[in-house]
Chain A
């Protein structure tokens, strides 16, 4: 037998976990272009999340409610602290702020229609309020952003609540960018900028800098709106205890807390993946701040960033939130990243589920675009119906879990109903590791 016929044992080719194929591809892309990657969406890396928690359900020591017979209240009132007209919602799932500009007019209309059918609120975004959005949204939250694009006192008074945006989970400490291809005549007109230029949004508000100023800014907004509507403060998940404390001290009616999985229309990938905390790590700290101030349930807490299912909603309620907010999930419900457009995703060099170049305006699903041909693919009436259905399913799911835990109101869920599958999730949620009565950092226990 000659040597050629001997198959000698050899080491298998081993890919580096550190220099993985996608890491290397990004190094090559950076070397070729000299430009960092900009994309939409939220963090894609795996982080401790709601999937790492489980509900315990009822047993001998807990009494469950009958799933199809006994009521489980899902309503919530937001803005009870100072506003004359708090917002009453049928379900504790709201639609997050997304701009006309980043999204098409039809997509914004669909969000308004779906939210209204489901008995909840939707939110404007950077770029102002459009008549379609106002017209189709029974309850509309008006975002007050650093750029103040399209901001005017008439729209402010047309809003059902005002959300002062200090930051967002995808990019705490960052501003925004809307690339020129999405700046059509209408978008440019609303933002008072030339058509077709890349539009930057500042990372800080132009006329206040710290919590003491913010308190006075809130006073001004309340004076202009006659103390009628609630004022929310939205922050990205970075220092939830202190941010919540300062927001309450500044006079907020509602604190909106957005984790790193929360989406953005466009920013640097390095920002999205490396700055901010997962929402799971934020909720209990924000609740602790509210409790320390004696304001839990007096100032309402809305959390967002990776909420997808009724189980996620129920977990947020159990951890102490009053409501959740969804953005990316709502876009998926409308048709974003649907495999039916796979051939077109392939042409864009991506695949359904991974498409995140929302800033380029070529969305095959017609949602994150200003191209009339593409945006015509989204029927706002049908989109609204789909969103309503999705919100209804989430609500039914959350009710199913709450009843199983013996709760006749979603907000009666509590940390005691939960256990964690990992040490990390146990530490962040401050609930016991499954099968134990302990979590890292539990008072009175050693680590």
Chain B
């Protein structure tokens, strides 16, 4: 295992080292110590490596990740795994605003709670939150899946497109054009897989599904309120 101590290594050197790892690297396991809430840790990675950050991170940890598995052994600041393309990001604590924003692929697991705008503009990413999510989560969510094992705040799924939302607890309110939808067998199958990938022992049958009413898909004056 390779260890990089941020007490003695600059952010630029840390990211350059991780970004330089080739597809076939044999240095597959990395540990980052003393992150102390630094921003932009382990961003833009593109290799099948395992990176564990020992402590909490600032903004945009694991941003635009491809292939890598990144674990934050602590809590993550705003925009964790933003625009992720593939790979997996796990937060053992809580995540701040915009977790998984605009993510195109991969899996984001948040073992604590996520703050507001979790999954905003998501474009294919799968997000599994063990706890609650804050207001405006899945705003303008285009595709992918958001699983919330706890409760959701105000305006869940506002202006949503084709993303699927699964919530086990309460939903304080639904956003514009977001409605509860029938949980069909294929959704239960999908949810079973998502929960398994998220390391979550909740039962799929306990969840409700939400998605787009598709009433905002074509511009008309009645939508312009």
Alpha-carbon separation in the docked complex, A153 to B60 (Å): 14
Alpha-carbon separation in the docked complex, A191 to B15 (Å): 29
Range for the number of chain A residues in contact with chain B: 35 or more
Pairs of residues from A and B, 7 with the lowest C-beta to C-beta distance, nearest first: A224-B44, A207-B79, A207-B98, A197-B217, A153-B64, A148-B102, A220-B40
Contact partners of A185 in chain B: CB under 8 A: none
Known: A213-B78, A226-B16. Is A151-B102 also a contact (CB below 8 A)?
yes
> What are 23 pairs between A and B in contact, CB < 8 Å?
A33-B221, A34-B221, A35-B221, A153-B66, A153-B83, A153-B85, A193-B142, A193-B161, A194-B162, A197-B161, A197-B217, A198-B217, A200-B140, A206-B98, A207-B79, A207-B97, A207-B98, A216-B40, A220-B40, A223-B40, A223-B44, A224-B44, A225-B44
Q: Is A423 an interface residue (CB 8 A)?
A: no
Binding-face segment, B21-29, B120-128, B188-196, B203-211:
B120-128
Chain A interface mostly: loop
Q: Is B219 an interface residue (CB 8 A)?
A: yes
Interface residues of A in 221-261 (CB under 8 A from B): 223-227
Interface residues of B in 113-164 (CB under 8 A from A): 117, 120-121, 123-124, 139-140, 142-143, 159, 161-162
Q: Is B11 an interface residue (CB 8 A)?
A: yes
Contact partners of B101 in chain A: CB under 8 A: 206-207
User: Which of A34, A179, A197, A225: most chain B Cβ within 10 A?
Assistant: A197
Alpha-carbon separation in the docked complex, A399 to B77 (Å): 51
Interface residues of A in 112-168 (CB under 8 A from B): 147-148, 151-153, 156
Interface residues of A in 292-351 (CB under 8 A from B): none
Q: Is B95 an interface residue (CB 8 A)?
A: no
Q: Say how far A193's CB is from chain B's closest CB, in angstroms.
A: 6
Say yes or no: A179 contacts B142, CB within 8 Å: no
Partner of B64, one of A152, A179, A200: A152
Say yes or no: A213 contacts B59, CB within 8 Å: yes
Q: Is B12 an interface residue (CB 8 A)?
A: yes
Alpha-carbon separation in the docked complex, A192 to B102 (Å): 11
In the complex, besides A194-B217, A207-B82, A207-B102, 6 extra interface pairs with C-beta distance below 8 angstroms are: A148-B83, A194-B161, A206-B139, A208-B78, A213-B78, A220-B60
Q: Which residue of chain A has its CB nearest to the CB of B144?
A: A192
Q: Is B104 an interface residue (CB 8 A)?
A: yes
Say yes or no: B12 contacts A223, CB within 8 Å: yes
Say yes or no: B79 contacts A208, CB within 8 Å: yes
Q: Say how far B40's CB is from chain A's closest CB, in angstroms.
A: 4
Q: Is B184 an interface residue (CB 8 A)?
A: no
Partner of A192, one of B66, B85, B117, B142: B142
Q: Is A86 an interface residue (CB 8 A)?
A: no
Q: Which residue of chain A has its CB nearest to the CB of B79?
A: A207
Partner of B15, one of A152, A198, A223: A223
Contact partners of B219 in chain A: CB under 8 A: 38, 177, 179, 198
Alpha-carbon separation in the docked complex, A270 to B165 (Å): 36
Alpha-carbon separation in the docked complex, A245 to B196 (Å): 49
Q: Say how far B118's CB is from chain A's closest CB, in angstroms.
A: 11
Q: Is A393 an interface residue (CB 8 A)?
A: no
Q: Say how far B186's CB is from chain A's closest CB, in angstroms.
A: 19
Q: Is B76 an interface residue (CB 8 A)?
A: no
Say yes or no: B40 contacts A192, CB within 8 Å: no
Q: Say how far B134's CB is from chain A's closest CB, in angstroms.
A: 14
Q: Is A219 an interface residue (CB 8 A)?
A: yes
Alpha-carbon separation in the docked complex, A223 to B19 (Å): 10
Known: A216-B58, A216-B59. Is A223-B121 also a contact (CB below 8 A)?
no
Partner of B121, one of A198, A202, A226: A202
Known: A35-B221, A206-B120. Is A224-B43 also a contact (CB below 8 A)?
yes
Q: Is A217 an interface residue (CB 8 A)?
A: yes
Known: A180-B218, A194-B162, A220-B59. Is A152-B142 also a contact (CB below 8 A)?
no
Interface residues of A in 342-370 (CB under 8 A from B): none
User: Which of A33, A152, A207, A208: most chain B Cβ within 10 A?
Assistant: A207
Q: Is B35 an interface residue (CB 8 A)?
A: no
Say yes or no: B40 contacts A227, CB within 8 Å: no
Contact partners of B59 in chain A: CB under 8 A: 213, 216-217, 220
Q: Which residue of chain B has its CB nearest to the CB of A149?
A: B123
Contact partners of A179 in chain B: CB under 8 A: 219
Alpha-carbon separation in the docked complex, A172 to B120 (Å): 22
Contact partners of A38 in chain B: CB under 8 A: 219
Contact partners of B117 in chain A: CB under 8 A: 206
Say yes or no: A207 contacts B120, CB within 8 Å: yes
Q: Say how far B163's CB is from chain A's closest CB, in angstroms.
A: 10
Q: Is B94 an interface residue (CB 8 A)?
A: no
Q: Is B39 an interface residue (CB 8 A)?
A: yes
Interface residues of B in 31-75 (CB under 8 A from A): 39-40, 43-44, 46, 58-60, 63-64, 66
Contact partners of B104 in chain A: CB under 8 A: 152, 192
Contact partners of A213 in chain B: CB under 8 A: 59, 78
Say yes or no: B64 contacts A224, CB within 8 Å: yes
Partner of B63, one of A177, A224, A227: A224
Q: Which residue of chain A has its CB nearest to the CB of B77?
A: A216
Q: Say how far A65's CB is from chain B's closest CB, in angstroms.
A: 46
Alpha-carbon separation in the docked complex, A209 to B142 (Å): 21
Contact partners of B15 in chain A: CB under 8 A: 223-224
Say yes or no: A198 contacts B218, CB within 8 Å: yes
Alpha-carbon separation in the docked complex, A216 to B96 (Å): 15
Q: Which residue of chain A has its CB nearest to the CB of B104?
A: A152
User: Which of B15, B83, B104: most chain A Cβ within 10 A?
Assistant: B83
Alpha-carbon separation in the docked complex, A200 to B142 (Å): 11
User: Which of A35, A206, A217: most chain B Cβ within 10 A?
Assistant: A206
Contact partners of B224 in chain A: CB under 8 A: 36
Alpha-carbon separation in the docked complex, A171 to B70 (Å): 39
Q: Say how far B202's CB is from chain A's closest CB, in angstroms.
A: 28
